Structure 1
């Protein structure tokens, strides 16, 4: 049976309805008309831009951002105009750092003067918002050592999310002079890496001395423990016991990854020994059967015990 071909007048009627609703500023009805249209037809460039304009006027910035991303990936012949909508959505969502970053990446490619004049004010206001936010962060940073652990972590994550990397020297000094919780130390290092801090920092973690250059660190996501130990331990455990405890075990191993960073674990023992030791550690912790001939490596066990004392 052949596919049903929609009548051309249905297409034309929907387009007419969309444009009429737009002229009448009936954006809710216009939104519904777009939903009906896209069930059967692909958007033309004209309609794609009209849909973005509708979402902008409705102040639906999250949907506008997602729509602009989809349209850009689909290669519509309106790149510059779509970038205006994309940057406007970032600004509307308060993603000022991303807004400025996108502007810096694309502005040299935008030749249309009118488009450039739409992009510059968006970027400049986003930059002003970042500057205003920085003033607030300065006051909060003065209190950093006295904050609770969760407050310290929240502030660092907030700074990274906002693209506020003007405190690298402050955090480097704090890290080297204050005995922060190990998780706070790790996230400070993440901040310094993202802020491209290229000076050596010395600090103590689990009574071990570390000297690192943050911009040369792999980053927590790419650390050997995260990339190799966790997936291999998880796979072996699931092969033997199923995946019922998957989320709990994954979280526990992630906690160890955060706590151990930036330890170069291969200088302590081989990757295989770390995997074997953590697998046995899991079995013992969960009171499961395990091979009596397998034992946790002493050096690895020493680190496990140190971390256990600090994980809350």
Structure 2
């Protein structure tokens, strides 16, 4: 078989953790040029000279926990040359949980979407009971959110581990605006800080504590509250930064506000920084003086003139 002199060959070898049927797609820049299913371990792609991007994915359903994580490769094709390339499909990460609305009622057939830092998206629909399983995710930081109609959940930054299911329940609390329905850009995957807030005296989880991220000038960059286990993820759209401060303030369980500041923090692009356990001190505050000077309400007798009927 004769090939054009301005074409080269990519000898693609599939190295999958488990047997699977894969699909390879090749892109010139951001433009999809072609795709092919792979049943065999090796295949040849004859492409024009230049730089190409290959994306290899497992053909199994996104509901299947055995689905392998995809891989993306950049290959330089030279005319008349054969370039060997190995595509490794490792065990994919799995997210599982339920989607509910603010009532709370389980949200049937809601769409759950995970977006990676390089712009790839993975979606699945919840079943009739609001349960979902999103498998085959790469082991990198993802921005996860659910949507149904005009309702959607707040974006959650997660860092799944390959082959280990992680539970994540999503609540539809936000209403989509007209701008977001007409093609406004989705939130960008950035850096975030995660941890757990504990009461310094008792060691119990601090529920609804306020966690803020501020830059070196004190400008607020992100804010959230802890869940019933004291866990939090704040940020999610932060750029690579240094000199940040995480401020933790007590929640409604305390009359006076106590706080702790973690200074000199930094993050890389799309990094989930684990702060571990953050102890929140309980400071003894002086009682407020009683305000005895305030006027007190008094009852005054009122007499009405007698009338003869």
TM-score range (shorter-chain normalised) is under 0.3
Larger strand share, 1 or 2: 2
Question: Which structure: larger Rg?
Answer: 2
Higher relative contact order (CA 8 A, sep 6+): 2
Larger helix share, 1 or 2: 1
With normalisation by structure 1, the TM-score equals: 0.24
